[in-house]
Amino acid sequence: MTVLDTPAWRPRTDAAPLLPDPEPYRLLGTPDAARLDAALLRSLYGQLVRGRRYNQQATALTKQGRLAVYPSSTGQEAGEIAAALALRPQDWLFPSYRDTLAVVARGVDPVEALTLLRGDWHTGYDPRACRVAPLSTPLATQLPHAVGLAHAARLRGDDVAALAMVGDGGTSEGDFHEALNFAAVWQAPVVFLVQNNGFAISVPLAKQTAAPTLAHKAVGYGMPGRLVDGNDAAAMHEVLTAAMDRARSGGGPTLVEAVTYRIDAHTNADDATRYREDDEVAAWRTHDPVTLMECELTARGLLDDALRTGAADDAEAMAADLRERMHATPVLDPMDLFAHVYAEPTPQLREQRAQLQAELEAEHRS
């Protein structure tokens, strides 16, 4: 026995339990699905149908010039919805720019969720009121925010946990590393959900990482990594809920990798044919999150017309409402540009505000 047995360097954590399963965890279509509550399956189905419709509608709005851009989550609805459902009212969601569906599923008004992408302001909802952070465009930068907020809540003794979303590409950023490390060291009540769709815009996963799986990154921080079929809404719901419960009970952070695929291109502005094969898309269509759920419901004789039409009508209503409200052009006050830079505008900003005011009045007169 040498000094090497001193605590200074000694593993405090056993690696084995941190390692993810070799295959993505699945429930739908497996014997285990039997134990799933029918009501849960029905509500997940409704949410999936609604989510799919939301993506279609938002994409349509870009064609009509009502949105500056839309990064669709078509094909990823299971992850988006499971993330929202894993949260209690007091918990916080930290979405990436991709995740307006999760934000909407969390309960934020779709029009407010789309403000950033419509271009009338950077955030349309009150993050404190909704417990949803602003959509984060700089990749992975929202992850340390989630850690800090969860840590703060814990310091305050509040029963609040955070769930942060990021893509496979985002895992390469330094902020991903620093956030997971802080979370593990502080044992912050936070869950990191990586939606691995196999691409970062045009860059395939093989050029992004050489890791066995992204979930394996968890080991290096001393937190458990879970590998899940990201298109299996039931599996995602179960794993995320368990991870959040673990965080709440002081068990510390978890890294969840959801293996999925985005049927739509990176955004409406992107041309996916430049970097991926149609048959790859076709292959993934056979593993569609909505279809997977439908099969399960059918197998269990739960997919009656009531459920089907109920979900479809609900989705249509949401889409119609969104369409209509997004067609009204927002009324904006240019003076808002100066209103929120600081609590009190600086002398310089007051001057610039006056200048713009004068210009607008001149414009108006002429």
Partner 1 sequence: MTTAATAAGRTAAPARKPATMAQALNQALRDSLAADPAVHVLGEDVGALGGVFRITDGLTQEFGEDRCTDTPLAEAGILGTAVGMAMYGLRPVVEMQFDAFAYPAFEQLVSHVARMRNRTRGALPLPITVRIPYGGGIGGVEHHSDSSEAYYLHTPGLHVVTPATVEDAYGLLRASIASDDPVIFLEPKRLYWSKADWSPQEPSEVAPIGRAAVRRPGRTATLITYGPSLPVCLEAAEAAEEEGWDLGVVDLRSLVPFDEETVAAVVRGTGRAVVVHESSGFGGAGAEIAARITERCFHHLEAPVLRVAGFDIPYPPPMLERHHLPGVDRILDTVGRLQWEEG
Ligand X SMILES: Cc1ncc(C[n+]2csc(CCOP(=O)(O)OP(=O)(O)O)c2C)c(N)n1
By CB under 5 A, residue 168 contacts Mg ion: yes
Cα 61 to Cα 82: distance, rounded to the nearest angstrom: 25
CB of 216 to its own copies, least distance (A): 5
Query: Which residues inside 85-114 make contact with its own copies, applying CB under 8 A?
Result: none
Residue with tokens 């509550």: 37
Contacting range for its own copies; rule: CB under 8 A; set: 69-77, 105-113, 151-159, 220-228:
220-228
Structure tokens at 164: 């942060």
Half-sphere exposure of 268 (CA within 13 A, CB side): 17
By CB under 6 A, residue 139 contacts ligand X: yes
Which distant-in-sequence residues (6+ apart) come within 8 Å of 297 by Cβ?
41, 42, 45, 303, 307
By CB under 6 A, residue 231 contacts ligand X: no
Is residue 229 helix, strand or coil? Answer: strand
Query: Which residues inside 234-263 make contact with its own copies, applying CB under 8 A?
Result: 252, 259, 261
Letter for the amino acid at 38? Answer: A
Q: Contact, 73 vs 262, CB < 8 A?
A: yes
- From the list 275, 276, 308, 353, the catalytic residue is 275
CB of 302 to ligand X, least distance (A): 31
By CB under 6 A, residue 170 contacts ligand X: yes
CB of 290 to ligand X, least distance (A): 19
By CB under 8 A, residue 184 contacts its own copies: yes
Known active-site residue 275: yes
Evaluate the CA torsion angle 151, 153, 159, 160 in order and state its sign.
negative
Q: Which residues pair with 167 in a beta bridge?
A: 195
Q: How many CB atoms lie within 10 A of CB 191?
A: 31
| Residues 126-165: x where in contact with its own copies by CB under 8 A, - otherwise, as a string | ----------------------------------------
Which helix or strand (DSSP H or E) is residue 257 part of?
Answer: strand 254-259
Q: Out of ligand X, its own copies, Mg ion, none, which partner does residue 123 contact, by CB within 5 to 8 A per kind?
A: none
Mind giving me the DSSP string for 100-114?
A: HHHHHHTT--HHHHT
Q: Which residues pair with 199 in a beta bridge?
A: 204
Cα 82 to Cα 87: distance, rounded to the nearest angstrom: 9
Interacting residue with ligand X among 15, 38, 201, 337 (CB under 6 A):
201
Interacting residue with partner 1 among 139, 236, 240, 290 (CB under 8 A):
139
CB of 262 to Mg ion, least distance (A): 7
**Residues near its own copies, by CB under 8 A:** 2-4, 6-9, 11-15, 18-19, 22-24, 172-178, 181, 184-185, 187, 196, 198, 204-213, 216-223, 229, 252, 259, 261, 280, 283-284, 286-287
- What positions carry a catalytic annotation? 262, 266, 275
